[in-house]
Amino acid sequence: MPLTANDVDRFEASRPRLEAIAYRLLGSAGEAEDAVQETFLRWQAADIDRIEVPEAWLTKVLTNLCLNQLTSARARRETYVGQWLPEPLLAGDPMLGPAETAEQRESVSYAVLTLMERLSPNERAVYVLREAFDYPHREIAEILDITEATSQQIFHRAKKHVADGKARTEIDEASTRRIVEEFLAAATSGQIEPLVRLLTEDAISIGDGGGKVPARAKAVAGAVAVAKFLRGLFKPGEAKRALAGGTPEVYAWTANGDPAVVAVVDGRVIGVMCLEVTAEGIAACHNQVNPDKLERATAHWAAADHGKPLFNAF
């Protein structure tokens, strides 16, 4: 039986929530959109009159599609060129989902999305559904076909794994701009000392070029090593301009709720560097330069009022 207009409306009303769940589960906006579209096709083929609670049904279908995707993604990432990082979402992107509580904001932060790569698919699903969307364990158990007690155990285990990472600091918009400006001033000073002062002692820098853009194959670790790497990264050079396709405009922005450096050439986002800020300083620089993971950022950037750049790089 074809879908009625009411059936389509019910699905579309759930789409933002489904996309936000899928993004947190997969760390990829493109894969999240695909999972939601496949969920719609399942909805279209289902006997909808027999579905008692459509929202629960859709969540279960989507979550299981994402679990299958996560399992196959793990195998693909073993052959991924260099470091794998999530796809960043710029401020205002609806796929970021709910942000009313600290837990919801943290669950979509770049640091936590990266940490969640350590979790098993089931751990990640329980953590996301409980922490970000406040699903009761009874409903999570039904979605994943496990017992309520097992859901609780998995959640506590997953939360501990995530909590083993550094404690993120909540930052308002004004502080975000100040932090990025200070970071960029230090990175472009030609000296490593200003950067070392901003970084934690065990700071790391990770870049994801996906084999399409040059990026370090391994993380850079330690404040001094990271400072030296960043000084070189921001040092002007003709080869860098040629690789970027022009002179990048550099902006202070927010991505996944974190302070971020956004580099843009002719309206195309070519890099998003998310800064993980703790009470002790900047603990990590996650630099996404894989063009496949910046297409959504570019589309969102085109519709945003981003003002003037802080400066032109390289």
Residue range 213-265, pLDDT digits in tens: 989 889 999 999 999 999 999 988 888 888 888 899 999 999 999 999 999 99
pTM of the model: 0.93
Q: What is the model's pLDDT at position 217?
A: 86
Q: How confident is the model at residue 76 (pLDDT cuts 50, 70, 90)?
A: confident
Give the residue carrying structure tokens 């998310």.
274
Which of 212, 219, 210, 273 has the alpha carbon at shortest distance from 245? 212
Alpha helices in 78-213 (DSSP H): 102-107, 110-115, 121-127, 137-144, 148-163, 173-187, 193-198
- Using DSSP's 3-state secondary structure scheme, residue 261 falls into strand
Q: What is the model's pLDDT at position 173?
A: 77
Q: Does 223 or 165 have the greater pLDDT score? A: 223
> What are the backbone angles phi and psi of residue 98, rounded to the nearest 5°?
-65, 140
Average pLDDT, the chain: 92
Q: What is the dihedral of CA 234, 237, 239, 241, to 10 degrees?
A: 70
Residue range 274-283, pLDDT digits in tens: 999 998 999 9
Q: Does 286 or 1 have the greater pLDDT score? A: 286
283 vs 311: CA distance, rounded Å: 24
**What angle, 0 to 180 degrees and rounded to 10, lies between the N-to-C axes of helices 223-233 and 173-187?**
80
**Is residue 107 scored above 60 in pLDDT?**
yes
118 vs 125: CA distance, rounded Å: 13
